[in-house]
Amino acid sequence: MKKYFHQAILAIPLLVFFSACKKDAKNETTTPPPQPPPVAVITIDSVKLQSQKVTTPVAPKNPGNYSVWFTMAGNKIYYANPSNTANPQFMLAYDISSNTFSERKADPNVCACGYESQIVSDGQNLFYIANDATKYNASGDTWSAINYPANAKDNNGEAGVLYYNSKIYFLGGRTASTKFKYYDISSSGWYNVADYLYSTTASQLVAVDNKIFALGGQGIESKFSYFTAEGSWQTLPDLPFELQGYYDTKLVTSFQNRFILALVANKIYVYDAVDKKWKTDPVELTINDGNLNIFSDNINVYIVGKSSSNDFSLHKIVLTNLPS
């Protein structure tokens, strides 16, 4: 009897010991691993634009008080005086990389007389199609006529103009129209496409997200639509601004095949074609120049114009915080 009692007494401390161990294990707490900070969602409203004036040499020639036409091809901005009466015609090329001007041959068909048009580029050559149709070869510094039959002249000036995928598109014209047509550079042929949704003069055209977008135009200043790969037009909600039709000024440009930048009354509006959304607040500019045009090389955006003293004027716009 004493033996069993003695064994029981010996077992009590062990039981207490194991119970205590079990209790400590049960109440043991661990510190959770640190959580990463929340990832900021980058949207079109996150986009920032920084403008800086580019100091350039004085242009060898300026057109006085007469208008000028600009276009961009590669790393060059071409600067042309279209008058063959008020001032002698000329054309210059400004090289962004070297910050230099060089004179280029002018062409009498690039004229501010009769019907007019924007000068457009395929990245190397320039095209001007209005009363007549002419092409500038940059490597040879030469102009030459291109195929322009009578049936292609049915609405031959002051239209919205765009180069896209080896074609030059024209929308509307001096007489407001729904006509939408293109000149195929490869075949040198002319073709009609599906009529536009509205009758207009000189809507601003831009290619982005593999579509052609039309913005504004005379009489339809807030309309916004795009031309699909299947060959039809689709409407979008109205623009948050009004954009007049300007047949000799480029006020919209694409950036990285996703974004549209519209230059309106010293403000830049930015559109994300993937998310189908405009940046809520436009970016205010402090550029007091005339004849403003906006271009992009998909690295930076450039605004080029004519200063109050009629000199060549250039601003570079850097975009950051873009949605991916």
Alpha carbon of residue 33 to chain centroid: 45
How many C-beta atoms surround the C-beta of residue 214 within 10 A? 28
Q: Is residue 132 part of a domain?
A: yes
Tokens encoding 17: 């010991």
CA-CA-CA-CA torsion sign (192, 128, 96, 65): negative
Q: Is residue 52 part of a domain?
A: yes
Q: What is the mean pLDDT of residues 135-161?
A: 93
How many C-beta atoms surround the C-beta of residue 283 within 10 A? 18
Q: Is residue 234 part of a domain?
A: yes
Looking at every residue in the chain, the average pLDDT score rounds to 88
Q: Is residue 14 part of a domain?
A: no
What does R_g of the chain's alpha carbons equal in angstroms?
32
> What pLDDT does 5 receive?
40
pLDDT for residue 311 is more than 50:
yes
- Please write the tens of the pLDDT for every residue from 43-87: 999 999 999 999 999 999 887 777 789 999 999 999 998 886 667
Instruction: Report the CATH number at residue 146.
Output: 2.120.10.80
Instruction: Report the alpha-carbon distance of residue 303 to residue 284 in Å, rounded.
Output: 13
> What pLDDT does 143 receive?
97
> What is each CA distance from 41 to 26, 253, 283, 316, 320, in whole angstroms?
41, 25, 20, 27, 14
CA-CA-CA-CA torsion sign (288, 163, 221, 258): negative
> What pLDDT does 21 receive?
45
Tally of domains in the chain: 1
CB 223 within 8 A of CB 231: no
CB 147 within 8 A of CB 97: no
Dihedral angle at the C-alpha atoms of 176, 83, 148, 92, nearest 10 degrees?
A: -120
**Domain assignment of residue 81, given as a range:** 48-320
172 Rama sector, left if φ>0, alpha if ψ -120 to 50, beta otherwise: left
Q: Is residue 26 part of a domain?
A: no
Q: What is the mean pLDDT of residues 15-34?
A: 55
Q: Is residue 291 part of a domain?
A: yes
> Range with the lowest mean pLDDT among 4-18, 20-34, 117-131?
4-18
> What pLDDT does 26 receive?
53
Q: Is residue 88 part of a domain?
A: yes
Q: What is the mean pLDDT of residues 24-41?
A: 68
Q: Is residue 239 part of a domain?
A: yes
Amino acid at 89: Q
> What pLDDT does 67 receive?
79
